[in-house]
Chain A
Amino acid sequence: MDVNEIIKPENLVYRKPTLLNDNTMHYCPGCSHGVAHKLVAEIIEEMGMMENTIAVSPVGCAVFAYNYIDVDWIQAAHGRAPAVATAAKRLNPHKLVFTYQGDGDLAAIGTAETIHACNRGENITIIFINNGIYGMTGGQMAPTTLEGMVTVTCPFGRKPELNGYPLHIGELLAKLKGTCYVTRQSVHTPAAIRKTKKAIMKGFENSMNKKGTSVIEIVSTCNTGWKMSPDKANVWMEENMFAEYPMGDLKNE
């Protein structure tokens, strides 16, 4: 059978979202960002929101998210994405505004901006990639690094007496009156990807329906920073990250 006999519309079972362009991703093989990006592109496309989407990228590995998803992007200073998104949304109230941030950006340097944007109930969605480590800068300790976990700035493992405890920012944000939806998901299995897609879509819909702030935490792998194979990183995440950061909705109103 010739290849062209197979490539027919009726045989199509999967295609890349058109808003996900062909630029080669800088992410490491095994990293969760690629899947999360694909979901974001797919959802904007399915919702028909391209012309009314303003996306905000962070500082960290996802700083270059703007290279891959073909919507308008604002690249924010480290940690300030929720403040940037606040203004973008308030000045363009009928547009879809979301941030895409890592744990260092959102839960360390940007804690104040995150908490206050959520507390004001800004009609934005925050997509929060939690992999427990600083990827871009080379694997340093993050606020979400697990107790005992080794990074280059806690080479003998995170010790609470020295470094404090893994920060449960999702639980904190769920307590705020301004958030309407806070959920913790992952993208390491097809089932998990489907659930995360629903969660992001719900967040975007909440934003457009002026329900308040939605936070989609995606517990993710950083196999390079964790110094593991992609396969092993998935297993390690399930055994260790999920124990500290359990999957599921933290708030759904």
Chain B
Amino acid sequence: MSEEVKLMKGNEAIAHAAIRSGADGYFGYPITPQSEVMETLMAEKPWETTGMVVLQAESELAAINMVYGGACCGKAVMTSSSSPGISLKQEGISYCAGAELPCLILNVMRGGPGLGTIQPSQADYYQTCKGGGHGDYRLIVLAPASVQEMADFVNLGFDLAFKYHNPAMILSDGVIGQMMEKVVLPPFRPRRTEAEVRAQEPWAAQGRTPDRARNVITSLEMDPVVMEQRNIKLQAKYAEIEANEVRYETINCEDADYLMVAFGSMARIAQKAIDLAKEEGIKLGLLRPITLWPFPTKAIAEAAKGKKGVLVAEINAGQMIDDVKLAVNCSLPVEHFGRLGGIVPSPEEVVAAIKEKLM
């Protein structure tokens, strides 16, 4: 059977992919530019087909704590929001990380700070990759650059979250969420039965059976010696994720004089900039991190070798550039280009920035 190609928005693709991934629950609160996620789910009525629960919460706080509650029961649960709403969810995300709960969170970024703007942005890189909530924790962060990747990263996000018992975030932006593209939706995966959840997630709060002690899902530990051990275990897990789960894409890197590093929608713009620069005889390459954490540090160091300079293009004031600088360790010039406040840059601006800052 040939694959069915559909045309839809990134936000809609997330909703369809969630139903198909065998997700047990979605809990959300409306915010532009990602409201189509919950709207699509409600219109699809998956509770009548797969049995998936979809609930509009009273706030982002409630939504992330519903995710926490569902994840504690071993269920595959998710939420979505945009920047200000993701800020509100940070406490709950920290709890999910602390209690080692698998769950999926989508951030369709908009410009900030504060209420900011509903236009696209990538200004939540620090928040997502450098903490966000309190405590020493990491999220697995996937950065889609197409509607197809929005759809694909739902399964990938859930799989990684359950593999490592860690929250995963799809860090998207208003461009990817709102634009329509061709997409092939993933095949249906059945939701797990209670028996399967009990067997596969024996740690979960599913009701204590006589053959085991009670399961307690908590991030709390009063004894600092035990709490330190918990933290050391978390760090060991993060090291394992860093060793195994780095994902990136390289375009034209071998034959380039200058390297660009960009993620998400900015990577699509940078791709066009490669073609424009070529017409002017400038050889550009692009490394697109797909996982923002774990960050493709080694790959960037490798790709930067022999280049004349690196341009980090982001739709923010310069956040990922810190990690790129650490990756290349001052071995060559690293410059930043970005637009702020919801302005999406053009490929021409990227080429101009290369010429102005690196040539």
The finding on whether chains A and B are genuine partners in a shared complex, rather than unrelated, reads yes
What is A's interface to B at a CB cutoff of 8 Å? Answer: 50-54, 56, 63, 66, 69-77, 80, 83-88, 90-92, 95, 112-113, 116
The one of B92, B194, B207 in contact with A77, judged by C-beta atoms closer than 8 angstroms, is: B92
The one of B65, B67, B215 in contact with A76, judged by C-beta atoms closer than 8 angstroms, is: B65
Does B224 make an interface contact (CB < 8 A)? no
Are the CB atoms of B59 and A88 closer together than 8 Å? Answer: no
Does B55 make an interface contact (CB < 8 A)? yes
Are the CB atoms of A112 and B219 closer together than 8 Å? Answer: no
Tell whether A76 pairs with B68 under 8 Å between CB atoms, given A71-B214, A91-B25, A92-B206. yes
Residues of B within 8 A of A77 (CB): 65, 68, 91-92, 95
The one of B75, B209, B213, B220 in contact with A75, judged by C-beta atoms closer than 8 angstroms, is: B220
Residues of A within 8 A of B91 (CB): 77
Are the CB atoms of B66 and A86 closer together than 8 Å? Answer: yes
Tell whether A83 pairs with B220 under 8 Å between CB atoms, given A72-B215, A73-B205, A91-B25. no
Q: How far is the CB of B209 from chain A (nearest CB, A)?
A: 5
Residues of A within 8 A of B73 (CB): 54, 74, 87-88, 91-92
Residues of B within 8 A of A74 (CB): 68-69, 72-73, 205, 217-218
Are the CB atoms of B58 and A113 closer together than 8 Å? Answer: yes
Q: Which of B13-54 contact A (CB under 8 A)?
A: 24-25, 27, 53
A56-B69, A84-B68 given; name 4 further pairs at CB < 8 Å. Answer: A51-B208, A74-B218, A90-B53, A116-B57
Bound complex: CA A90 to CA B66 (Å): 10
Tell whether A72 pairs with B68 under 8 Å between CB atoms, given A83-B61, A83-B62, A112-B58. no
Are the CB atoms of B208 and A53 closer together than 8 Å? Answer: yes
Are the CB atoms of B69 and A72 closer together than 8 Å? Answer: no
26 residue pairs of the A-B complex, CB under 8 angstroms, read A50-B207, A51-B209, A53-B208, A54-B206, A54-B207, A70-B208, A71-B214, A72-B216, A73-B205, A73-B218, A74-B72, A75-B99, A75-B217, A76-B69, A77-B92, A84-B68, A84-B72, A87-B53, A87-B65, A87-B73, A88-B70, A90-B55, A92-B206, A112-B61, A113-B62, A116-B58
Are the CB atoms of A113 and B208 closer together than 8 Å? Answer: no
Are the CB atoms of B65 and A73 closer together than 8 Å? Answer: no
Bound complex: CA A80 to CA B65 (Å): 6
Are the CB atoms of A75 and B24 closer together than 8 Å? Answer: no
**Interface footprint category on B:** 35 or more
Residues of A within 8 A of B208 (CB): 50-51, 53, 70-72
Are the CB atoms of B205 and A87 closer together than 8 Å? Answer: no
Residues of A within 8 A of B206 (CB): 54, 72, 92
Tell whether A73 pairs with B70 under 8 Å between CB atoms, given A90-B53, A92-B206, A116-B62. no
What is B's interface to A at a CB cutoff of 8 Å? Answer: 24-25, 27, 53, 55, 57-59, 61-63, 65-70, 72-73, 75, 77, 91-92, 95, 99, 194, 205-210, 213-220
Are the CB atoms of A75 and B207 closer together than 8 Å? Answer: no
Most buried by B among A63, A74, A87: A87
Bound complex: CA A95 to CA B74 (Å): 14
Residues of A within 8 A of B68 (CB): 74, 76-77, 80, 84, 87
Q: Which residue of B lies closest to A80 (CB)?
A: B65
Q: How far is the CB of A162 from chain B (nearest CB, A)?
A: 27
The one of A69, A86, A112 in contact with B69, judged by C-beta atoms closer than 8 angstroms, is: A86
Residues of B within 8 A of A69 (CB): 214
Q: How far is the CB of A109 from chain B (nearest CB, A)?
A: 10
Bound complex: CA A148 to CA B58 (Å): 34
Are the CB atoms of A73 and B216 closer together than 8 Å? Answer: yes
Are the CB atoms of B58 and A91 closer together than 8 Å? Answer: no
Bound complex: CA A54 to CA B58 (Å): 23
Q: How far is the CB of A92 from chain B (nearest CB, A)?
A: 6
Q: How far is the CB of B36 from chain A (nearest CB, A)?
A: 22
Q: How far is the CB of A219 from chain B (nearest CB, A)?
A: 27
Q: How far is the CB of B197 from chain A (nearest CB, A)?
A: 9
Are the CB atoms of A52 and B66 closer together than 8 Å? Answer: no
The one of B25, B27, B67, B217 in contact with A73, judged by C-beta atoms closer than 8 angstroms, is: B217
Residues of A within 8 A of B58 (CB): 112-113, 116
Q: Which residue of B lies closest to A53 (CB)?
A: B207
Bound complex: CA A88 to CA B61 (Å): 16
